[in-house]
Amino acid sequence: MNPAEERIPTKQRSRRGQTLAEFALTLPILLMLMFGVIEFARIFQAWITLQNSARNAARYAITGKWDEDSVMDAMEYTPPGGLTDEELRDNVLNELVPCTTGIDAIFQRHWGFDCEPGSDDDQGLRIDLARLPSIVERARIGAAGLALKKGDLYVGLRDDTENEYNTQTVGENDPGWFHVWICSSRPPLLDHPAETNPGARYKPSEDRNDRMCELLEGPYTTENQYDAGGPGDAVEVIVFFNHPLITPLGLVDYVQLQARRVMINESFRSTRVVNLPPQLLLPTLPPTNTLPPSNTPNPSTTPTVTPTPTKTHTPRPSETITPTPLPDCNLLWIGVDDVRLVDNYLQIRVHNDNLYSPVFLTEASVNWEKHVLFQDMYASQAKIVGRSNFWSGQSRFSPTVINRTSAGWIDDPPSYILRRFDANSTTTFQMRFSNGPTALRDYYTTGQFGGTYLIFGRTWGGYPDGVTSPCQLFLPNIPTPTPPSQTPTNTPTPNCTNYEVEFVSFETNAVVHFQLRNTDVAVAQLTAFSINWNTYGRTLPPITLDFVSVGGTNAFDPAAIIMWDGNDNTPPAAGQVGGANWQITPIIQPNRTLDIWFDFDGTSGRLDSEMGYGVSDFNDTWFEIDFICNGETDNAPTPVNTPLPTNTLTPSITPTPSKTNTPGPTHTSTPITPSPIPSNTPIPSNTPLYTNTPRPTLPGGAE
């Protein structure tokens, strides 16, 4: 035995072993407590930092600003060198969401209508898309110090291939994942009937963990589309972060944290107040009209007669001493330079020099001349630039007069922001014209809108009180020079080879989509059509043609024009200018493509997949341009269940390929289609889409 051990009593040696055993038992508990304190402190610190991140992002969102670096990072885009700061911003914005005189697919898919370069509203909507990556970047800056992984998914922000921008390096189930959810209370941007108006463009999910900002209007309803809103809209920002754990507890890899902020956007594009409670929107007395307290006699100069202080006997300054002054009509004015033609809008800038009192538009009478090339142009929308429409409809008459009794008029109490022209500010009224020139200034001058006037109510909301008279503003006397003209005659003769017809697709709700392209230099009119939906007499479920619309993004788009509205269940169905069901004669600008939508009744699905119709069943469909050019698409091959041509054709005498020389019914399906059989007729593959001979069955079209 070791002499040292001999000197340690046995009782002490057993106690030391017991201490080691107890320490071994308590060490895991101690470590768990220690690790728990560490993780709790880190989680708490991360939560505080995330609150700052959400606040930082929301505060940036309400300013309406954006920066090109964030957008370039989101797109992973490298701009060309040598650009100035302004040129760089324009380049990045054009790369993200182009806005041209042609069809802008990215803008149209997101907002539901095409971008017009001269529209201030559309330019603002482009910037609203660029704000999303900028807001995300401010959230990341506010979360500095956290173990964030790079990148984010910019929901609803798509490239020209319709793919969402996504720079994430980890998934939502991985530690370090960071995501910013953005949704707004933006009102609808498209025109809706009262019974179908969604009330807001977006609907946030009740469970914010779903991260849904559901689109309620446009061609892509129910899509998840983040949005920061416009001036005066509420914007909600939620920041998600998978906070990683560093201690070896072995429970989970991360804890998901959230931070949320809701703020009201500033008036960063137009003079617009936020959505205040109703009682705060009532007119209030300006502070300068209140009697100053210095007019009250000094208590020290009044003998003390009663124990009540003298100041209690002095009337307090009251808000009812002087009423809010009514707007002075002499302080409302329109200058010669305040009338402009921007794209297809007439814009009128109204100056309200009253210091305290707004006025409210109650009636607009817009006088405009009919142009020989655009006889069916009509007024379709009235609004204040930067706000939603307060009127939408279809007025083909001049002057176009709209007021609160007009169909399509929208009131928005108690703020009446849609019609309010604020005090001490300049507000722009605009009226949109449809089915006319893309740029009004190419065919009109501002002087041709002489006689236009606006009427403003001076009471709150503009409602008459039987005492207060309204203000009426006429356009100033603007010289009327000879308007520009694109054509020397009233009836230009088109080149029929410059018009191309194409079958595009079958759509839901039994819609058939065609396109007509004008590559000519002259404005063209679509003056007649004939659509055949059972060219070969096959046994198919019956359908009925309900209406024909042109333009827009789909058949039911409010921006589309109803060209023909009837009820025809016997193919072929035809319509022409002056016919009983003809509504408006659409025009096609040079180098533009017109979408034509045929809406049938019979199914809510597609005619091909639901009812067995094929493209070839719509062969012999044609369109007429300017009463002269008649043309149709190339005939599609017949369906596989059509009797084989070898049963009825003699190959030795038929040089035409079998796919274009269909069985007998193709020769007699409609009297308005020239027969391709006679030998003196060129081979169809070499024949232009149009001939110069009018259809004999449409004598009324020759007027």
Q: Would you say residue 218 lies in a domain?
A: yes
Query: Do 390 and 259 belong to one domain?
Result: no
Write phi, then psi, for 610 (nearest 5 degrees): -95, -35
Question: What pLDDT is recorded for position 664?
Answer: 41
Position 497 confidence tier, pLDDT thresholds 50, 70, 90? confident
Scan for tokens 């356009």, then name that residue: 475
Q: What percent of the chain has pLDDT over 70?
A: 78
- Note down the domain range covering 536: 496-642+658-702
Position 279 confidence tier, pLDDT thresholds 50, 70, 90? very low
Query: Do 501 and 456 belong to one domain?
Result: no
Domain termination site, one of 264, 279, 314: 264
Q: Would you say residue 10 lies in a domain?
A: no
Scan for tokens 């040129």, then name that residue: 87
Has residue 652 got a pLDDT over 70? no
Most confident segment among 488-502, 504-518, 667-681? 504-518
3-state secondary structure 240-284: EEEEECCCCCCCCCEEEEEEEEEEECCCCCCCCCCCCCHHHCCCC
Question: What pLDDT is recorded for position 135?
Answer: 96
Query: Which amino acid is located at 610 in the chain?
Result: E
Q: Would you say residue 299 lies in a domain?
A: no
Has residue 615 got a pLDDT over 80? yes
Could you tell me the pTM of the whole model? 0.50
Q: Would you say residue 606 lies in a domain?
A: yes
Cα 633 from Cα 535, distance rounded (Å): 13
Has residue 286 got a pLDDT over 90? no
Average pLDDT over residues 261-270: 86
Average pLDDT over residues 547-575: 88
Has residue 41 got a pLDDT over 60? yes
Question: What pLDDT is recorded for position 141?
Answer: 94
Query: Do 524 and 636 belong to one domain?
Result: yes
Has residue 702 got a pLDDT over 50? no
Has residue 687 got a pLDDT over 70? no
Q: Would you say residue 308 lies in a domain?
A: no
Position 697 confidence tier, pLDDT thresholds 50, 70, 90? very low
Least confident of 32-36, 464-468, 497-501: 32-36
Query: Do 146 and 69 belong to one domain?
Result: yes
Question: Distance of CA 87 to CAs 84, 93, 94, 424, 581, Å?
Answer: 5, 10, 10, 34, 51
- In this predicted model, what pLDDT tens digit does every residue of 511-533 receive, in sequence order? 999 999 888 888 888 999 999 99
Residue pair 203/216 in contact (Cβ under 8 Å)? The answer is yes
Query: Do 72 and 194 belong to one domain?
Result: yes
Position 639 confidence tier, pLDDT thresholds 50, 70, 90? low
Q: Would you say residue 485 lies in a domain?
A: no
Query: Do 113 and 217 belong to one domain?
Result: yes
Domain termination site, one of 264, 299, 314: 264
Query: Do 630 and 514 belong to one domain?
Result: yes
Q: Would you say residue 487 lies in a domain?
A: no
Question: What pLDDT is recorded for position 353?
Answer: 94
Position 596 confidence tier, pLDDT thresholds 50, 70, 90? very high
Position 4 confidence tier, pLDDT thresholds 50, 70, 90? low
Query: Do 195 and 56 belong to one domain?
Result: yes
Question: Distance of CA 664 to CAs 530, 537, 644, 695, Å?
Answer: 21, 11, 12, 22
Cα 521 from Cα 151, distance rounded (Å): 48
Q: At what angle do helices 68-75 and 120-142 cross, to 10 degrees?
A: 80
Write phi, then psi, for 654 (nearest 5 degrees): -115, 100
Higher pLDDT, 521 or 599: 599
Average pLDDT over residues 121-140: 94
Question: Distance of CA 602 to CAs 202, 207, 285, 596, 606, Å?
Answer: 32, 38, 62, 19, 10
Query: Do 460 and 518 belong to one domain?
Result: no
Query: Do 372 and 438 belong to one domain?
Result: yes
Cα 265 from Cα 131, distance rounded (Å): 13
Question: What pLDDT is recorded for position 260?
Answer: 95
Has residue 276 got a pLDDT over 60? no
Has residue 388 got a pLDDT over 90? no
Has residue 478 got a pLDDT over 70? yes
- In this predicted model, what pLDDT tens digit does every residue of 483-493 receive, in sequence order? 444 444 445 56
Question: What pLDDT is recorded for position 554?
Answer: 85
Question: What pLDDT is recorded for position 561?
Answer: 86
Query: Which amino acid is located at 242 in the chain?
Result: N
- In this predicted model, what pLDDT tens digit does every residue of 308-362 receive, in sequence order? 454 545 555 544 455 668 899 999 999 988 999 988 899 999 999 999 889 999 9
* Domains contained in the chain, number: 3
Average pLDDT over residues 460-481: 85
Position 119 confidence tier, pLDDT thresholds 50, 70, 90? confident
Has residue 248 got a pLDDT over 80? no
- Which region holds residue 325: left if phi is over 0, alpha if psi is between -120 and 50, else beta? beta
Query: Do 160 and 229 belong to one domain?
Result: yes
- In this predicted model, what pLDDT tens digit does every residue of 414-445 receive, in sequence order? 889 999 999 999 999 999 998 888 888 888 99
Question: What pLDDT is recorded for position 322?
Answer: 56
Q: Would you say residue 270 lies in a domain?
A: no
Query: Do 215 and 362 belong to one domain?
Result: no
Has residue 132 got a pLDDT over 90? yes
The overall average pLDDT reported for the chain is 80
Q: Read off the DSSP letter of residue 451.
A: T
Average pLDDT over residues 461-473: 90
